[in-house]
Amino acid sequence: MDFSFVLSPTGTHTIGKQFDFEAGHRLPGLPPEHKCSHQHGHSYQVEVILTAPALEEPGFVTDFGALAPFKKFLDTELDHHNLHEVLPFEPTSERLAQFLAGWFIQNLQPTIPGRLVAVCVRETGRSWARFDVEGQ
């Protein structure tokens, strides 16, 4: 079958890649009776969402393999750590998503063609927080 007649619409390409890590934390800013004020842990899932107005050869927003330094950062700095001990803020999912967006933009984005749109941090299968980057 000849598909040469199918026109490609204009638009933006978007990709996402999920990563995971295990970590504990507590939120000492909460009242003592709140369950999250006590030490507990999560199997975190982090998704980075990137976009590009044009594709890089052979047809990528960003090669998924180029995101490996982000996974290495998660593994070495956050995995199996108490987040409230290693991060300079109270580690809510919202603040963690913003922090990870900042790390990504500062350390990885200069080396890849795609631009970060958002970071989503999922604590459980039903609870998540998303930070949307402005001006990218």
Query: Is this model's pTM higher than 0.75 or not?
Result: yes
* Better-scored residue on pLDDT, 70 or 36: 70
Q: For 14-23, write each residue's pLDDT tens digit.
A: 999 999 999 9
Q: For 61-101, write each residue's pLDDT tens digit.
A: 999 999 999 999 999 999 999 999 999 999 999 999 999 99
Give the confidence band of 103 by pLDDT, cuts at 50, 70, 90.
very high
Q: Which residues are catalytic?
A: 36, 80, 123
Average predicted confidence (pLDDT) for the chain = 95
- What's the gap between Cα 100 and its chain centre? 6
Q: Please, which residues bridge with residue 116 across strands?
A: 50
Which H/E stretch holds residue 51? Answer: strand 40-52
pLDDT at 60: 97
What class is the 13-132 domain? Answer: alpha beta
Rounded distance, CA 47 to CA 130, Å?
9
Q: Where are the beta strands (DSSP E) in 59-114?
A: none
Give the confidence band of 136 by pLDDT, cuts at 50, 70, 90.
low
Domain ranges of the chain: 13-132
